[in-house]
Amino acid sequence: MTEQPVLAPFSGTVVSIARGPNEPVAAGAALIVLEAMKMEHEVLAEGAGVLRRVEVSVGQSVDAGDVLAVLALEDSVAGPNAPADAAAQDEERPDLEAVLERHALGLDEARPEAVAARHADGRRTARENLADLVDAGSFIEYGPLIFAAQERRRARAELIARTPADGLVAGVGDIGGRPAVVMSYDYTVLAGTQGMRNHLKKDRLFEIAERRRLPVVLFAEGGGGRPGDVDWPAVAGLDCRAFGLFAALSGLVPLVGIASGYCFAGNAALLGCCDVVIATDGASIGMGGPAMIEGGGLGVYAPGEVGPVEVQYENGVVDLRVADDAAAVATAKRYLSYFRGRTAPPERTPDQAQLRRLVPASRKRIYDVRQVLETLFDEHLELRRGFGTGIVTALARMTGHALGVIANDPAHLGGAIDAPAADKAARFMQLCDAFDLPVLFLCDTPGFMVGPAAERTATVRHFARMFLTGANLQVPTGTIVLRKGYGLGAQAMAGGGFKSPLFTVAWPTSEFGAMGLEGAVRLGLRRELEAIADAGERERAFEAAVAAAYERGQGLNMAAYGEIDDVIDPADSRRWIAGLFDRRSGEWWRRSGKRRPCVDAW
């Protein structure tokens, strides 16, 4: 055996001696404990052997390099890298056990009654929804140990057990391999209300979303503000930052809101700030719940009467209506995929020759414009279908590229654009512009809806939104005229005019005019028609004039005069659309930060 002095590594005071003379020592075992700057440091054996003698005593001050003890090392195992005592490695740590036990109290397994009640209603828990949303093993939870600020009313142990995470499960997780901020109010905790501490958690994660440029998915079920958090020194709590921080993310990162069950007051306010609102059957959404309504002297209502999904889908609050929680999660994933860049193109694409038959030869026969979308694109997701039904707005994908599509629906008012449709189109343009999605217009409109009834809906202002937004788009746009292209409505379906898009082309079924053909003939030839006494002859003269106007306004004639770029075979449409994604142009429209102050909530 080789004797080796054990030296003090720094100046300090001896606070304990772990071994006595002639005791066997394992490699890595503690010999002496020194204190310096209020911290204790173990001096370890560099190898196995026998402690010959100790040169210091407890309470003695030593300097760096002083001999503390002499150790006789076994030559075969001497060295500073000898492993520590195996028993010490397996030692139980009460501090770690306390942390693990505390975390476990917030899991669904620790609350079987609450989970069972949730399942009995046909609903999933907050943690189950988030587990389905994010990729397995990727979720990092923020603030799981907080609880409701009600210690002046209830015991701490009760709050820990009954208000885990203060009713908001939140963190960062991957969705389809890309990180996102995800959060869900927990309706089993105080009805998913907004507690003072879970507001702070939201603040933290909204700031992280801004710094990391991460999309946010919010499950917004809950009853709004929570008056029972008495620990917080506040009068009204109107200095809460969560609403401002969340709204400031609009236009910077995609915001996805999910409403399932009851979503009222502050919860609904956050939901309304989202780019897209997904709601399940049976959901009710309102800026005030039953208690607030009754408190305001406005009557007594059941929660399901306040803002049922049927109402909110038709009035435009809800973009996507789905059956249940599982469908909501699947839809949120699908929606976000359009904002994650190009994907692999499909192995097979729809037969483009079908496009030649989708618009009837008869100019007065309606058709299903959604069949055009289904054939033209690899896939698409229609938004806000229940509202503004004269226009279809959809996210679509072609050869892996994502884009936005705005199409007139001739099955509603003949494709005329009314005030709700104009709002719907303008807001969708903002969404696409904010997140670098090129826009394709599929035009088939006789123009904006007119008449006294239409004017009572403030059409002058609503229609102008299409011009104001379309003319200021910074992403590439293109227009394909499927059939009718008349008046100001057609110009709005080209971002302001037919020279505004990168291309304006038409199908063989296209027809054009400054206004509808029949109306133009009646106005332009009123005196001549009134001079014809015979009603039958007058009608024949009218039809002949309409036919002549149609001949003059055919797409071929428009192209011949250079007012559009070409009349094309419908089966060739994808070649023109591909120009919206041509990387050889340098993708000049790509943004580095916010392009728009926000995406309008309406």
CATH number at residue 21: 2.40.50.100
Alpha carbon dihedral 503, 507, 508, 513, in 10-degree steps, equals: -70
Q: Are residues 48 and 187 in the same domain?
A: no
Which SS3 state, helix, strand or coil, does residue 104 take? helix
What residues have CB less than 8 Å from 88, skipping those under 6 apart?
Answer: 28, 29
Report the domain count for the chain.
Answer: 4
Confidence of residue 284 (pLDDT cuts 50, 70, 90): very high
Element (DSSP H or E) covering residue 293: helix 290-295
Tokens of 533: 């006494």
Answer whether residue 590 shows pLDDT above 80. Answer: no
d(CA 231, CA 259): 29
What confidence tens digit (pLDDT) does each residue in 396-422 have?
999 999 999 999 999 999 999 999 999
Residue 407 lies in a domain: yes
d(CA 523, CA 343): 52
User: What is the average per-residue pLDDT within 492-517?
Assistant: 92
The DSSP call for residue 417 is: B
Q: Are residues 560 and 549 in the same domain?
A: no
Q: Are residues 204 and 313 in the same domain?
A: yes
Q: Are residues 57 and 115 in the same domain?
A: no
Residue 85 lies in a domain: no
Alpha carbon dihedral 27, 33, 39, 41, in 10-degree steps, equals: -20
Average model confidence (pLDDT) for the chain? Answer: 92
Return the minimum-mean-pLDDT range out of 114-128, 182-196, 296-310, 506-520: 506-520
d(CA 127, CA 139): 11
pLDDT for 86 equals 52
CATH number at residue 400: 3.90.226.10
Answer whether residue 595 shows pLDDT above 80. Answer: yes
d(CA 36, CA 9): 11
Q: Are residues 140 and 129 in the same domain?
A: yes
**Residue 44 main-chain phi, psi, to 5 deg:** -105, 155
Q: Are residues 52 and 157 in the same domain?
A: no
- Closest Cα to residue 166, out of 139, 203, 129, 131? 203
**Residue 218 main-chain phi, psi, to 5 deg:** -120, 120
Q: Are residues 282 and 234 in the same domain?
A: yes
> Which percentage of the chain shows pLDDT scores above 70?
95
pLDDT for 79 equals 47
What confidence tens digit (pLDDT) does each residue in 60-106 have?
999 999 999 999 988 654 444 444 455 555 678 899 999 999 999 99
Angle at alpha carbon of residue 91, lines to 88 and 95, rounded to 5°:
130
Helices (H), 71-145: 86-89, 94-105, 112-120, 126-133
Q: Which domain holds residue 523?
A: 516-553
Q: Are residues 291 and 424 in the same domain?
A: no
User: What is the average per-residue pLDDT within 129-135?
Assistant: 98
Q: Are residues 488 and 396 in the same domain?
A: yes
Residue 598 lies in a domain: no
Exposure class string for 356-394: b at 16+ Cβ within 10 A, else e: eebbeeeeeeebebbebbebbbbbbbbbbbbbbbbbbbb
Residue 602 lies in a domain: no
Residue 251 lies in a domain: yes
Q: Are residues 523 and 570 in the same domain?
A: no
- Closest Cα to residue 369, out of 447, 442, 466? 442
Between the alpha carbon of residue 561 and those of residues 473, 485, 505, 557, the distances in Å are 27, 15, 13, 6
Helices (H), 338-418: 369-376
Cβ atoms 466, 426 nearer than 8 A:
yes
User: What is the average per-residue pLDDT within 45-55?
Assistant: 91
Which SS3 state, helix, strand or coil, does residue 206 take? helix
What confidence tens digit (pLDDT) does each residue in 201-221 have?
999 999 999 999 999 999 999
pLDDT for 89 equals 59
pLDDT for 78 equals 44
Answer whether residue 361 shows pLDDT above 60. Answer: yes
Between the alpha carbon of residue 331 and those of residues 213, 320, 431, the distances in Å are 21, 8, 18
Instruction: Read off the pTM.
Output: 0.87
pLDDT for 81 equals 46
What residues have CB less than 8 Å from 229, skipping those under 6 apart?
Answer: 148, 149, 150, 195, 196, 197
d(CA 408, CA 446): 10
Residue 10 lies in a domain: yes
d(CA 513, CA 446): 9
The one-letter amino acid code at 174 reads D
Residue 88 lies in a domain: no
pLDDT for 529 equals 78
pLDDT for 506 equals 98
> Which percentage of the chain shows pLDDT scores above 90?
77
Return the minimum-mean-pLDDT range out of 44-53, 264-273, 563-572: 44-53
Q: Are residues 412 and 533 in the same domain?
A: no
Answer whether residue 525 shows pLDDT above 80. Answer: no
Query: What is the maximum span of the chain, computed from C-alpha positions, in angstroms?
Result: 134
Exposure class string for 132-170: b at 16+ Cβ within 10 A, else e: ebbeeeebebbbbebbbbbeeeeeeeebbebbbbbbbbb
Residue 113 lies in a domain: yes
- Closest Cα to residue 129, out of 365, 329, 277? 329
Q: Are residues 288 and 359 in the same domain?
A: no
